[in-house]
Amino acid sequence: MIGVLSSALLTALSMPGMFWGGLIWVALIPLLLDLQKGGLWKGTLKAFFFAYAYLMICHYWVLPVLSINVPEVLSSFPPFVGVLSFFLMGVLMAFSFLGFGFLYKLYAHKFSESLVLSSLFTASLFTLFDWLRSLGQLGFTGGSLADAFTNQKGLLQLSSFGGPYLLVFLVVFVNAMLAYVIKHWRKYKALFIFTTLSMIFALNMLIENFLPVPLDNPLYDKNIAAIQTNIPQSLKYNESPQEVYKIIEKTLEKVPEGSFVVLPEASFLYDIRKSFIGSKLHELSKERNLTLLIGFPTAEDGEKYNQLRLLGPDGFSEEFYAKMKPTPFAEFLPYPKLFGLFKFMRFLDFFS
């Protein structure tokens, strides 16, 4: 289990905002070496515990949200229920990796004679189950191995050809290849690993250097201002939206004219487009020639969205940016008949 937990920690540390994305190229090696030990069910559980541990670390920020912020706002459940919900969420996120561990233990030995075939099998199987965990109402997409490419902008360009799952496949292929070399080769292990990693990092730097740099154009020059309101949760969720608006209004009056202003996510907790607050923000935008990027929940064709929309002198934009897939139990309740026990987690429904 040491290898499993080591891989979980290294994978989590490679995620954005944690430590360094480059760790992802070796993060799975301890797991893959450990999976080759023990029987079928032991290997299956190892894959599950790896996914559970790394996804829990990646989503550490959800724990205080569920155990402190949400109970404070909704007053519909005590903090310990939020803690329990957090760990149950981990089970759902990691569940599909039981399938990866099971099939890996069943069939990996059939490809053990070939470095390439073994690596292709492992990468294909892992990518398949990483994709499966995103399907359906219980689909979770957070904590993908592809997230480690945030600061590897050169190799990130490969996503243009195969999306994030091409990046996942590539990561697992390299890890599986290095694990195979460590397990089976007697000579030149260190040289192969060093050469492989050097080529990866060199290729990333090379592509980065050839990426086109945006040209300066005075026509598009704007000051960009980001507003952090530091509004307490109790005020944001329980007081009149007018109080929140007053804080934002005072800040906008100090922003240089003609600026592009980014407001926090869910600045307002309802659709403000046809409201008094929306009208006041529109007036302020016209007076000071401001363009606001503002987030608020909305409903389009019966579907609820946690979205971003532009507000400029001409009014709110028709187009908006929203998540393709809302987060289960955070932004919607999946399978209400099955998970009706968790209906106290209303979230987006709370604002409608």
The tens digit of pLDDT for each residue in 109-143 reads 899 889 999 999 999 999 999 998 888 777 777 88
Residues 127, 88: one domain?
yes
Domain closes at, from 154, 186, 210: 210
What is the span of the domain harbouring residue 344? 218-351
18-32, 73-87, 269-283: which range is least confident on average? 73-87
pLDDT, average across residues 193-201: 94
Task: Kindly indicate the confidence band of residue 339, based on its pLDDT and cuts at 50, 70 and 90.
Answer: confident
Pinpoint the alpha helices (H) of 59-112. Answer: 62-64, 70-74, 79-94, 97-107
Task: Kindly indicate the confidence band of residue 51, based on its pLDDT and cuts at 50, 70 and 90.
Answer: very high
pLDDT, average across residues 251-257: 85
Q: What is the pLDDT of residue 337?
A: 75
Task: Kindly indicate the confidence band of residue 198, based on its pLDDT and cuts at 50, 70 and 90.
Answer: very high
Write down the pTM of the prediction: 0.78
Which is it for strands 303-312 and 321-322: parallel, antiparallel or unpaired? antiparallel
Maximum C-alpha span of the chain: 73
Residues 161, 280: one domain?
no
Which whole-number Å values give the CA distances from 141 to 46, 131, 275, in the listed order? 21, 9, 34
pLDDT, average across residues 233-257: 77
Residues 315, 336: one domain?
yes
Task: Kindly indicate the confidence band of residue 343, based on its pLDDT and cuts at 50, 70 and 90.
Answer: low
Q: What is the pLDDT of residue 8?
A: 93
Report the CATH number that the domain containing residue 278 is assigned in CATH.
3.60.110.10
Number of domain units in the chain: 2
Task: Kindly indicate the confidence band of residue 26, based on its pLDDT and cuts at 50, 70 and 90.
Answer: very high
Residues 21, 165: one domain?
yes
pLDDT at 152 > cutoff 80 = yes
Domain closes at, from 210, 232, 262: 210
| Distance (Å, whole) CA 205 – CA 22 | 12
Domain closes at, from 164, 188, 210: 210
In the DSSP assignment, the letter for residue 345 is: -
| Distance (Å, whole) CA 162 – CA 175 | 19
Residues 70, 190: one domain?
yes
Residues 130, 171: one domain?
yes
Task: Kindly indicate the confidence band of residue 250, based on its pLDDT and cuts at 50, 70 and 90.
Answer: confident
Which whole-number Å values give the CA distances from 285 to 38, 293, 307, 310, 311, in the listed order? 65, 11, 20, 11, 8
Residues 206, 222: one domain?
no
Residues 199, 227: one domain?
no
Q: What is the pLDDT of residue 74?
A: 65
Choose between 169 and 304: higher pLDDT: 169
Tokens of 203: 């290729």
Residues 87, 235: one domain?
no
Residues 245, 292: one domain?
yes
Residues 294, 174: one domain?
no
